[in-house]
Amino acid sequence: MRTGKIGLRSFLFQRHVPDVPTPRCSCGLGHETAYHVVVECPDTAETRGTLRRQVAPAALYSRRDFAAALSDPDLAATIVRWVLRQNRIPQFTLATCIGGDIGEQRHRRERAAWQSLKANSARHIRVEVAAPPPPIFI
């Protein structure tokens, strides 16, 4: 999503996909990019409030906010799931139906386990420094 190489119309149009005659969003106000869908598109305005509450206290009002949110793995995962629920990327419709809340719960469990592992590893790391070799006298 950060790179813009995602199955939205703007990218698909650049790749000359036959069934995509225009990069414009269905709202008609801009190119259908991840930023447009998440931050600007009036077609997603109704559910955008839910997304903003989910990523709070992070903001999603500008390109800077959007880039900052995508640089955080947890916020990025939340945004990706929200975009998938908007049914803008038809290739992932089945995955969204299958994954749904199960995918979100799994992500939270894996993230918590990873953070716990990192915390425990940091406490148990012991640094051993080898003694310098003895000097050689000639």
Please report the pLDDT score of residue 99 as a whole number. Answer: 60
Q: Residues 37-93: pLDDT tens digits?
A: 999 999 999 999 999 999 998 889 999 999 999 999 999 999 988 998 888 887 776
What b/e readout covers 77-114, taking b as 16+ CB neighbours within 10 angstroms? ebbbbbbbebebbeebeeebeebeeeeeeebeeeeeee
- Contact residues for 57 (Cβ-Cβ < 8 A; gap 6+): none
Q: Give the dihedral sign, CA 66/51/32/76.
A: positive
pLDDT band at 95 (very low <50, low <70, confident <90, very high): low
Q: Give domain status of residue 137, yes or no.
A: no
If one counts the domains in the chain, the total is 1
Q: Give domain status of residue 102, yes or no.
A: yes
**Does the pLDDT value for residue 34 go beyond 90?**
yes
Q: Give domain status of residue 129, yes or no.
A: no
Please report the pLDDT score of residue 86 as a whole number. Answer: 87
Q: Give domain status of residue 125, yes or no.
A: no
pLDDT band at 138 (very low <50, low <70, confident <90, very high): low
Q: Give domain status of residue 30, yes or no.
A: yes
Please report the pLDDT score of residue 136 as a whole number. Answer: 75
Given a contact cutoff of 8 angstroms between Cβ atoms, the answer to whether 31 and 23 are in contact is: yes
Q: Give domain status of residue 132, yes or no.
A: no
Please report the pLDDT score of residue 120 as a whole number. Answer: 64
Q: How far apart are CA 25 and CA 40, in angstroms?
A: 11
Range of lowest pLDDT (45-49, 112-116, 118-122): 118-122
Q: Give domain status of residue 65, yes or no.
A: yes
Please, what is the average pLDDT of the chain? Answer: 81
Closest CA to 66 of 111, 22, 23, 4: 4
What burial class does residue 20 get, using C-beta atoms within 10 Å of its C-beta: 0-12 exposed, 13-18 middle, 19+ buried?
middle
Given a contact cutoff of 8 angstroms between Cβ atoms, the answer to whether 30 and 63 are in contact is: no
Average pLDDT over residues 22-39: 94
Please report the pLDDT score of residue 128 as a whole number. Answer: 58
The domain of 52 spans: 9-116
Q: Give domain status of residue 138, yes or no.
A: no
pLDDT band at 101 (very low <50, low <70, confident <90, very high): low
